[in-house]
Every structure is written in structure tokens, then in C-alpha cells.
Chain A
């Protein structure tokens, strides 16, 4: 009798120890989530914490504007459970990679599904306004909308952690909101309507919109393509005619012609980052976005001085 009680206790202890492992086996292993661009690495790692693994589709060091899929990168898709996409033009290579992979029907999350998009400007505006500006990640508001959307969709795929994901998304959104609020708080006086800005690359419409500004002109004919001398002259004349006060240039892709524009037109140039270069990290988006916001603030303040 005594022995059977002891045996039962030992057995129940054993079952109690084995249960968590069983539960884990039931849920399967943590999600492996693919991402295509640096900002999305930061978004997703902040949402999932240690409950899932985030895997970049393109290794660090490649420029997503000029990326051509490689065999080993396509093979990696076979190990993923879901891929988070920008989906509006900045990661068009992902479709081809997914189609060629071992999992052509892998689940995808369209981050921008709920984001009000802006029409593309500059040369990308072909197709009667149907092409949209894909750089939604360069805006705090559009980033928060994407973070909320990604968290909601991940929660559907991983219901056990849905609450955890949505809480993390809200905490992250709060930090992002604070970045924007801190930047805006430094500007005491709203820029007047004569404060006109131009950009080298048609990426920053979403960012300057947060300051109530609009991009007046885009200098570069296409990303990475330098304007010819005659195009450059036309651009400089255009900047003078439009009375542009400030140009936002590219920090990650410097070009010699930018200095020519500054010298000839007298317009001040401030570099912004596209957040698509270097190592992937959880903090990268916040760090680089803070720098971008501070740069826009500096441009506004120096124009008022």
C-alpha cells in the first residue's frame, strides 16, 4: 500500500516535470519569421522579443535597391514559417525568391495593408499615379501602423503569444511616438509656407509630412543614377525657380554632384538615412530614425535663424 502511494507520487512528479516539455512540443517550435529590409528587422524583433526568431532574407551588406537573389538566400526560405513584406515596391525581389523556394506558398504578412499610401514622385511616378511611394518605414506614424498590423497578423499565426505580441507592439509604438514628440518639441515655431524642401531620392515624403511639410522637388532621375550635366543644370534652375530652401540628401549613398548643386544653387543640404544599410539590429530603427528627425529639426531651425 505504502509502496504503491510512493510509486504514484513519483509518477505524478515525473508527469509534472514532463508537462511543460509536452506543452512546448504541442505548440511546435518558435516561429521563424523572415524579413526583407532593415526597419522590418527592428519592428519584428521588438514585437516578438524572445518568443520567435527573426531571419533577414538578404544578408547584411547588400543594397536592397540593387539586390539580385542568390541560391543560398532562396534556400533559407525553406526554413521559415512566415515572411513579413514591405509589399509596396521596396522588396519586389521577395516574390521571385518565394516562388523559387521550397515553400512557394509560405504565409506572408503585408505590413502596409492598413497604411494610407502616398503616390510615388519623381521618375517612379510612372503609370498614372498607380505606383506608390514604398518608403512608409521612414515615417513614425506609418511605422506604428505597420507594427500594429504585423503584431495582429503574427498573433493569428501564433495565438498563444498574441497578447504578448500586441503588448510589445504598443510599448514599441509608444517609444516611437516619443521620438517624434521629442523632435517636434524642439521646434518652437512652425515652418512658414515659404519653407520649401527638395530631396535627392524620392524617399522622404512620409517623413517630412510628419512636420506638416511637402516635398517640392526630387533631384535624382532614378535611385543611384546620377543626373547628366544638362539634367543637373535644369535641376539647379528649377531649384532656384521654386525657391527651395533645403535639400535632404542620402547619407548612405553620397554623390559628388550634390556638392555641385549646393555650390551653384546656394541651397543648404542635410543628409538623411534610408535605414537600409549595415547590420540588422533591434535598435537600428530607433537610433537612425532619431538621427533623421533631429536632422529635419536642425534644417527647420537653421532656416528660421
Chain B
């Protein structure tokens, strides 16, 4: 009686399969970890009536906008002593850009500034191809935030109604600035 001895071929098919299975397991585990711990960057989408101060303003407009916010700090500080808004010529005399006329204001669109009632400063651009016109609405609260609007049309008249709805109809856009310190930092702030 002869015994049949089965000799398996020297291939490593099953080992390859195990290696593949383990690789797949590692991949799945890694994918799971990434899915659970990965950070999601939420896109900030602005409403239609707003424009982004960083992306949507040109260099001249960014300059005027930054200066206007600094001048607003002074306007608020002075309101603590006198409720009336500081006149444009006083701000210019004290050297506050964008109210002061200098080389910088000339190359940024030569805005003509005026006070509208006791609620807003309007700066009409003399060259809308360089920069749009700006409107700074001063909030009634002394610790309120600056509300700045921009219009790129060639309008030469002051808006008659300063409510947000009326401004939107007249083609003004609210400038929105957001602070994202966390982009390059390990901790989100």
C-alpha cells in the first residue's frame, strides 16, 4: 500500500494574503484615526451684502479701512467727554489718517470727508478706479464696534437713509473683518 504524500508548492500565496490583510487593517485603522481627530476648516461664507476686508479690498481700500478703524478709537474716546462727534477738520488737524490730506490720501483716492449728522462719517472717493467711497457708522454705545461700508459706484451724493437695508439698496457693501489667529498656531484661539 503506497502512501500518498502531498507536497505543497514552495509559493507563499497565503503569506502574501496575510501581509495584505494586515496592511489593509493598518490602513483602515489610520483612516479611522484621521477621520476622528482631523480638524475641519470651516469656510466662512459672508452674506451677500458684505465684503471681506482681507480678500475683497484692494491695497488702497485696505489702507483707508485700517486707518478709519484707528480713527474710530479716537472718536469713541472723545465721545466720553463730549457727546458730539469730533468734526472732520479737527481729526485732520490732529493728524488722523484718512482725514488728513497727504501723499498717502492722494494716492488712495483723495476721499472728501464729511460728517453726516451726529451718526456717521462719509468719505467720497474722487477716483473710484483707485478706491471706493467709505461710510463709517458710529454706534450709539460708547463701547460699540465700528460699522464700515464701502461703495464702488461713482455716487457723489450722501446716502439719505443710513439704515442697513437702505444702504444695501443703494449699492453699499458692509466691510467684514474676521480674526483668525489659529491658522498657524497649535491651539485654536
Please determine whether chains A and B interact with each other in the same assembly: yes
Residues of A near any B CB (own CB < 8 A): 87-89, 92, 95-96, 99, 110, 112-119, 127, 129-132, 139, 141-142, 144-145, 148, 166, 170, 173-174, 177-178, 180-181, 184-185, 187-191, 209-214
A27 to chain B, nearest CB (A): 24
**Which residues 132-181 of B sit at the A interface, judged by CB distance below 8 A?**
177, 179-181
Known contacts being A113-B179, A145-B70, is A132 close to B103, with CB within 8 Å?
Answer: no
Q: Hey, which chain A residues are within 8 Å of B77, CB to CB? A: 166, 170
Q: Is the CB of A119 within 8 A of B55?
A: yes
Q: Nearest-CB distance from A81 to chain B (Å)?
A: 19
A112 touches B63 (CB 8 A): no
A131: B residues at CB distance < 8 A: 183-184
- B184 touching A116, Cβ below 8 Å: no
Assembled-state Cα–Cα distance A212/B111 (Å): 13
Chain B residue at smallest Cβ distance from A114: B69
The reply to whether the CB of B126 lies closer than 8 angstroms to some CB of chain A is: no
* Residue pair A190, B180 in contact (C-beta under 8 Å): no
A95-B185, A95-B187, A141-B70 known; A110+B103 contact, CB < 8 A: no
Residues of A close to B106: CB separation below 8 A:
190, 212
Nearest B residue to A189 by beta-carbon distance? B103
Between B60, B70, B95, B97, the greatest number of chain A beta carbons within 10 A of the residue's beta carbon is seen for B70
Any A CB within 8 A of the CB of B73 = yes
Q: Which residues of A contact B95 (CB under 8 A)?
A: 174, 177-178, 181
Name the CB-closest residue of A to B107.
A212
Contact with A along B100-138 (1 / 0, CB 8 A): 101110111000000000000000000000000000000
Residue among A87, A173, A181, A189 making CB contact with B100, cutoff 8 Å: A181
**CA distance in complex: A144, B72 (Å):** 12
Decide: A95 and B186 in contact? CB cutoff 8 A. yes
Contact yes or no, B54 A190, CB < 8 A? no
Q: Which positions in B face A, CB cutoff 8 Å?
A: 41, 53-55, 59-60, 62-63, 65-67, 69-70, 73-74, 77, 94-97, 100, 102-104, 106-108, 177, 179-181, 183-187, 189
CA A190 to CA B66, docked complex, whole Å: 20
- Tell me the bound Cα distance from A99 to B185 in angstroms: 12
Contact B102 A185 (CB under 8 A): yes
Whole-angstrom distance between the Cβ of B70 and the nearest chain A Cβ: 5
Not counting A95-B185, A141-B67, A213-B107, a sample of 17 additional A-B residue pairs whose C-beta atoms are within 8 angstroms of each other reads: A87-B185, A95-B187, A117-B54, A117-B179, A118-B62, A119-B55, A129-B54, A130-B41, A170-B77, A174-B94, A178-B95, A180-B97, A188-B103, A189-B103, A210-B104, A212-B63, A212-B108
Bound CA span A141–B60, Å: 14
Given contacts A118-B54, A212-B60, A212-B63, is CB(A145)–CB(B103) below 8 Å? no
Set of chain A residues within 8 Å of B65, measured between Cβ atoms: 116
Which residues of chain B are near A212, meaning CB under 8 Å? 59-60, 63, 103-104, 106-108
Name the distance in Å between A20's Cβ and chain B's nearest Cβ: 29
| CB within 8 Å for A145 and B73 given contacts A127-B183, A177-B95 | yes
**Is there contact, CB below 8 Å, between A209 and B63?**
yes
Say whether A88 contacts B181, CB under 8 Å: yes
How many angstroms between the C-alpha atoms of A22 and B63 in the bound complex?
A: 49
- Cα distance A174–B110 when bound, in Å? 23
A-B contacts, 18 listed (Cβ < 8 Å): A87-B189, A88-B181, A110-B181, A117-B54, A132-B180, A141-B63, A141-B70, A142-B66, A144-B70, A148-B70, A170-B77, A174-B95, A184-B103, A185-B102, A190-B106, A210-B63, A211-B104, A212-B59
| Known contacts A116-B69, A132-B54, A110 near B63 by CB under 8 Å | no
Query: In the complex the two chains form, what is the Cα distance from A214 to B107 in whole Å?
Result: 11
Measured between beta carbons, the chain A residues less than 8 angstroms from B103 are 184, 187-191, 211-212
Query: Across the interface, which residues of B come within 8 angstroms of A148, CB to CB?
Result: 70, 73
Q: Chain B residues near A112: list those with CB within 8 A.
A: 179, 181
- Distance in angstroms between the alpha carbons of A185 and B104 in the assembled complex: 10
Q: For the complex, what is the distance from the CA of A170 to the CA of B181, rounded to whole Å?
A: 26
Q: Are B181 and A141 in contact (CB under 8 A)?
A: no
